[in-house]
């Protein structure tokens, strides 16, 4: 850094240049990786570079991607959520069962599912804030609670014959020749919404400040407890949306769903360049991270590579992403 305190030169107040902002964004690496992977697969498979295939990839990442939005919020506060897949599974089975059995109208079932998921999130947040307990432990416990409740409530039966509102997000509309599901559109909109909230509102700044240091945040007058509970509750609500997306995608209520989605969502967040230490990262990076996983899975499948290699590559990429984060932090110190 060449800037020093003297001489007193008035700092620039104008918008920074686009190029500069790009270079200082932690999302550049993941984006480059995604584009490279796309180029690679385009050369290796005729079916890869089509609108239909990309629509498919987005469909395939929308559930984990949406879960990863909530995960991003929590990781930005230097927390972690192991319970999101299980919360989603419970929300999904609740919506499906209530609606399929006609206990309540389908839309009420959806609303209840969303509320229950938000409630799980709020419970996580309150335990993290009030007791206080480490997020890892709280959400590990909640993972088991939600998992068990899912199996108890569903009696391990897959729920079929869902009424139309629950599968509406799985319906498609056309952009040119490409059929896109409403769920994919909703997922993209959610990412944009949270990119806006995190980047353009005071709430977003506070989330980052909290992740940097809860003490700094508290001393600057941010009500950190309320903020933390808010973040976990918001995340829970987003898991509820993921539950609806899951139900609409699979067309059933599945008690076995989401068992690895907690780690998959963390994978997407980390691949997107967000720091597990909190306070650094972008939710758009998480979208890119989720797409990287989806593109590799799809591309390798199209090439005829066995799925175990996707797991191998994802593992390597995760380690790489964390290494890059760690190195860039060390350089700043």
Partner 1 sequence: MTDAPSAPTPPAETAPASPAGTAPTPPAETAPASPAGTASAPPAETARTPVLQARGLVKRYGHVTALDGVDFDLMAGEVLAVIGDNGAGKSSLIKALTGALQPDEGQIMLDGRPVRFRDPLDARRLGIETVYQDLAVAASLDIASNMFLGREARRPGFLGRVFRLLDHRRMREESARHMADLKIGLRSLTQPVESLSGGQRQGVAVARAVAWARHVVVMDEPTAALGVKESGQVLDMIRRVRDRGLPVVLISHNMPHVFEIADRIHVQRLGRRVAQIRPGEHSMAEVVAIMTGALQLDADEQAVVADKEAARAIGLT
Partner 2 sequence: MSRSTRAAGALSACAIVATIALAGCGGGGDNAGQADAIKVGLITKTETNPFFVKMKIGAEAAAKADGAELMTAAGKFDGDNASQITAIENMVAAGVKGILITPSDSKAIVPAVQKARSAGVLVIALDSPTEPQEATDALFATDNFKAGELIGQYAKATMAGKPAKIATLDLAPGIAVGQLRHDGFLKGFGIQEGDPSVVCSQDTGGDQSKGQTAMENCLQKAPDINLVYTINEPAALGAYTALKAKGREKDVLIVSVDGGCVGTKAVQSGQIAATSQQYPLKMAEQGVKAVVDYGKSGTKVSGYTDTGVTLITDKPAGGVEAEDTEFGLQNCWG
222-231 own/partner pairs: CB under 8 Å, 24+ apart:
225/129, 225/130, 227/77, 227/203, 228/77, 228/79, 228/125, 228/128, 228/129, 229/122, 229/125, 229/126, 229/129, 230/125, 230/203, 231/73, 231/74, 231/77, 231/79, 231/125, 231/207
Question: Is 121 within 8 Å of 239 (Cβ atoms)?
Answer: yes
Distance CA 309, CA 317 (A): 12
Is the Cβ of residue 178 or residue 212 nearer to partner 1 in the bound state? 212
Which does residue 208 bind out of partner 1, partner 2, none, counting CB within 5 to 8 angstroms by kind?
A: partner 1
Q: 278, 76 in Cβ contact below 8 A? A: yes
Q: Cα–Cα distance between 152 and 139 in angstroms, integer?
A: 19
Residues that bind partner 2 (CB under 8 A): 20, 23-26, 28-30, 32-33, 36-37, 40, 45, 47, 52-53, 56, 59-60, 63, 151, 155-158, 160, 246, 249-252, 254-261, 297-298, 300-309, 311-313, 316-317, 320-321, 324, 327-328, 331-332
User: Closest approach of Cβ 89 to partner 2, in Å?
Assistant: 10
Helix 51-76 × helix 182-200 angle, to 10° = 40
User: Quick one: residue 280, left, alpha or beta (phi over 0 = left, psi -120 to 50 = alpha)?
Assistant: beta
Residues 13-72 that bind partner 1 (CB under 8 A): 13-16, 20-21, 24
Q: Does 213 bind partner 1 (CB under 8 A)?
A: yes
Closest distance to partner 2 from the beta carbon of 309 (Å): 4
Identify whether the C-beta of residue 182 lies closer than 8 Å to the C-beta of residue 172: yes
Q: Does 1 bind partner 1 (CB under 8 A)?
A: yes
Q: How far is the CB of 73 from partner 1 (least distance, A)?
A: 15
Do the beta carbons of residue 88 and residue 242 sit within 8 Å? yes
Of 15 and 46, which has the nearer Cβ to partner 2?
46
Closer to partner 2 by CB, 40 or 203: give it.
40
Q: Choose which of 222, 266, 317, 321 interacts with partner 1 (CB under 8 A).
A: 222
Contact map string, positions 70 to 109, toward partner 1, x by CB under 8 A: ----------------------------------------
The contact set with partner 1 (CB under 8 A) reads 1-16, 20-21, 24, 196, 200-203, 205-206, 208-209, 211-213, 215-223, 226, 279-280, 332
């Amino acid at each position: 850094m060449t800037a020093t305190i003297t001489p007193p030169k008035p700092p620039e107040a104008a918008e920074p240049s686009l190029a500069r902002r790009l270079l200082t964004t932690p999302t550049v690496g993941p984006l480059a990786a995604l584009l490279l992977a796309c180029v690679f697969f385009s050369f290796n498979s005729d079916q890869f570079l089509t609108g239909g295939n990309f629509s498919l990839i987005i469909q395939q990442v929308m559930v984990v991607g949406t879960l990863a939005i909530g995960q991003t919020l929590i990781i930005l506060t230097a927390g972690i959520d192991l319970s999101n897949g299980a919360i989603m599974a419970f929300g999904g089975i609740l919506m499906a069962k209530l609606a399929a059995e006609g206990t309540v109208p389908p839309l009420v079932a959806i609303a209840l599912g969303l509320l229950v998921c938000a409630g799980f999130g709020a419970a996580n947040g309150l335990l993290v804030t009030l007791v206080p307990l480490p997020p890892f432990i709280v959400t590990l416990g909640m993972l088991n609670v939600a998992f068990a409740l899912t199996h108890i409530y569903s009696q391990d039966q897959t729920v079929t014959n869902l009424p139309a509102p629950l599968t509406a997000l799985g319906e498609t509309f056309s952009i040119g020749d490409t059929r896109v599901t409403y769920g994919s559109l909703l997922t993209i909109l959610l990412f944009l919404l949270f990119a806006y909230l995190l980047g353009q509102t005071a709430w977003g700044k506070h989330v980052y400040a909290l992740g940097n240091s809860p003490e700094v945040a508290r001393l600057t007058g941010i009500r950190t407890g309320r903020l933390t509970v808010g973040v976990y509750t918001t995340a829970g609500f987003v898991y509820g949306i993921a539950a609806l997306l899951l139900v609409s995608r699979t067309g059933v209520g599945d008690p076995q769903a989401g068992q690895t989605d907690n780690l998959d969502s963390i994978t997407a967040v980390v691949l997107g360049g967000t720091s597990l230490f909190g306070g650094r990262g972008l939710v758009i990076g998480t979208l890119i991270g989720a797409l990287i996983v989806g593109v590799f899975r799809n591309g390798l499948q199209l090439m005829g590579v066995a799925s175990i290699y996707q797991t191998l590559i994802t593992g390597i990429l995760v380690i790489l992403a964390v290494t890059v984060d760690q190195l860039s932090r060390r350089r700043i110190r």
